[in-house]
A = this chain, B = another copy of it.
Amino acid sequence: MFHDFKLTDDRPVAVQVKDHMKRLIIKGALQADQKLPSTRELSLLLNVSRNAIIAAYEGLEDDGLSYTVRGKGSYVAAISGGGSTTAPSWQPDWHARTNGHAKSAVKLDRMKRGILAERGTISFTSIAPDEKLFDLDNVRRAFLDRMAIEGNVLLNYGYAKGYKPLIDYLLRYMDHKGVNIKGKDMLITNGFTEGLDMVLSALRRPDGAVLCENPTHNTALKLLKLHGFEVKGIPMERDGIDLHELDRALAERTYDCAYFVPSYHNPTGIVTSPEKRLALMKRMAERRIPIIEDGFNEELRYSGSHVAPLMATAGDGNGVIYLGSFSKVLFPGLRVGWVLADRELIDYLESIKRARTIHTSTLDQSLLYQYLHNGNLEKYLKKARAEYKRKYEWTKQCIEAHVPYVRMTGDGGLHLFVAFEEGFDTRELLAACSRQGVIFTPGEMFYTGEGEGRHTMRIGFSRVNDEEIGKGIRIIGETAKQLTN
């Protein structure tokens, strides 16, 4: 049994020896009160230094797995559980024991049924940031700076609402976007997704309904459905939501809330015009419908004039719940987002947050804070905007040259949205393209109605290099032409 031992990697040798012996004891290969080999013997058997064996034996004794008899050596302790003393084993049928919520979560989980990209595939499916832009030195610097200031604090429990310096920074940040923060408060969340999930948890009502753009952000759509809302999608025009259709929907029934992505709409990339923003706000205020505003990629606007968030046009009213995140702008691996809303609502959300995840990683929050505080955001955005703008223009140019599209939208960000003629099926296109090593996101998943948007696709270009953009779009275009002929 000692011959199974292999030094596998660069973990300390003593730890590996201890783990090996522990396993033998727990699995019952070494029995209670059996004498262990002397440290000298085991050192020879395992071809490991005697010091490592001595440290390993000490560790075993600390764990209550062995005991020492003075002048005789180490013996295996009597242990409970494990190989020798097992309870009756049985196998639950989890399909029968899990509820509708669990089953809906799987059903709505597109990632589980996505096409697996093989190595070398040109993938336009991602709208995550380009890793090559990450300024790792500044991240490292921010970590070391913050650890030096309050390392102990960062590693212990924090507050459910979030890390105070980050909250203060983000409140000022929102103030600079023109938002009146009077009467409002902020909760830090594990990214945008947790923020939306908690807001919906607090507002969900049996048979509630929600308004949104159609198409819309697929993660949001999934959550709205998981929470049991009836989802009413309003078609998008070139400058934002179709107000005529909105009025029709408003005449039909009442809504618990509305979910809008006004600044860089996902998937269409449309920036809602100032006029439509005002018209939208007026209608929502008249009907007393709270708005959940998804601040998605506001920061990555790289053309056109400044557009303030919907929340900034609400004055001191508190009918807008703003969800922010730097995930697509900076680092998605740091799961940090924020909810800015009426103080009273944040008070509810804080309790929900505490019940579910206690608080967001203090390390993530403090690292992000220090990175921002060190003034890195401006520099990073300058670099990122220039790079994404270049890619955006190149992708657009390629699509114009090769793809037989009917409509293309996207005023910036990390993606473009392409519509073919009605009747065209982008899932067929995807199947044909993936055989040639190119994949993209069929638009259907962004639509609120069954079977809608089959003639559309989203092209995310952030993580594809110029050469592959050219090659990939050409393949999509040529394949689409073949399918339309």
* Chain A interface residues (CB < 8 Å from chain B): 9-12, 14-15, 18-19, 22-23, 25-27, 59, 62-65, 77-83, 85-92, 94-95, 97-99, 101-103, 105-106, 108-109, 111-112, 128-129, 131-132, 134, 136, 139-140, 143-144, 147, 151-158, 160, 172, 175-178, 190-191, 193-194, 197, 201-205, 219, 222-223, 226, 256, 273-274, 277-278, 281-282, 285-286, 288, 290, 301, 304-310, 312-319, 331-335, 342, 344-345, 347-352, 354-364, 367, 373-375, 378, 381-382, 385
Docked-complex contact B351 and A89, CB < 8 angstroms: no
Residues of B near A378 (CB, < 8 A) are: 12, 14-15, 18, 59
Residue of B nearest to A192 (CB): B358
Complex CA gap A205/B87 in Å reads 27
Bound CA–CA A344/B98 (angstroms): 10
Q: Please determine whether B308 and A81 come into contact, CB atoms closer than 8 angstroms.
A: yes
Stoichiometry, copies per complex: 2
Q: Are A193 and B80 in contact (CB under 8 A)?
A: no
Q: Which of B64, B80, B309, B355 contacts A81 (CB 8 A)?
A: B309
Residues on B with C-beta less than 8 A from A178 are 26-27, 81-83
Contact A197 B94 (CB under 8 A): no
Q: Across the interface, which residues of B come within 8 angstroms of A59, CB to CB?
A: 378, 382
Residue in chain B with minimal CB distance to A91? B318
Query: Could you list 12 examples of A-B contacts with CB < 8 Å?
Result: A10-B373, A11-B375, A12-B375, A26-B312, A79-B305, A82-B313, A89-B316, A98-B348, A112-B351, A131-B156, A134-B151, A156-B333
Q: How far is the CA of A213 from the CA of B65 in the complex (A)?
A: 28
> Distance in Å from the Cβ of A104 to the closest Cβ of chain B?
9
Q: Are A202 and B102 in contact (CB under 8 A)?
A: yes
| A318 to B93 CA separation, bound complex (whole angstroms) | 10
Enumerate chain B residues within 8 angstroms of A318, measured Cβ to Cβ: 91-92
Contact of A278 among B22, B85, B348 (CB under 8 A): B85
Q: Per a CB cutoff under 8 Å, which of B89, B355, B382 touches A62?
A: B382
A27 to B308, CA, bound (A): 11
A309 / chain B contacts, CB cutoff of 8 Å: 81
Name the distance in Å between A473's Cβ and chain B's nearest Cβ: 23
Q: Are A358 and B373 interface neighbours, CB within 8 A?
A: no
A448 to chain B, nearest CB (A): 17
Q: Which residues of B contact A273 (CB under 8 A)?
A: 80
Residues of the B chain whose Cβ atoms lie less than 8 Å from the Cβ of A223: 355
Given A317-B89, A358-B193, A363-B333, A94 and B151 contact (CB-CB distance below 8 Å): no
Do A194 and B11 touch across chains, with their CB atoms under 8 A apart? no
A101–B208 Cα gap in the complex (Å)?
Answer: 15
Give the distance in Å from the alpha carbon of A307 to the alpha carbon of B99 in the complex: 34
Closest approach, in angstroms, between the C-beta of A335 and any C-beta of chain B?
Answer: 5
Q: Is the CB of B333 within 8 A of A155?
A: yes
Chain B residues near A143 (CB, 8 Å)? 143
A98 with B363, Cβ < 8 A, contacts A304-B64, A382-B62 known: no
Contact A332 B156 (CB under 8 A): yes
Closest to A274 in B: B80
> A91–B319 contact, CB under 8 A?
yes
Q: Is the pair A356, B77 in contact by a Cβ cutoff of 8 Å?
A: no
Contact of A26 among B128, B308, B345, B347 (CB under 8 A): B308
Contact in complex: A319, B131 (CB < 8 Å): no
A362 cross-chain contacts in B, Cβ below 8 A: 333-334
Min Cβ gap A264→B in Å is: 13
Which residue in chain B gives the minimum CB-CB distance to A257? B97
Shortest Cβ-Cβ A-B pairs, 3 listed: A81-B308, A89-B317, A80-B274
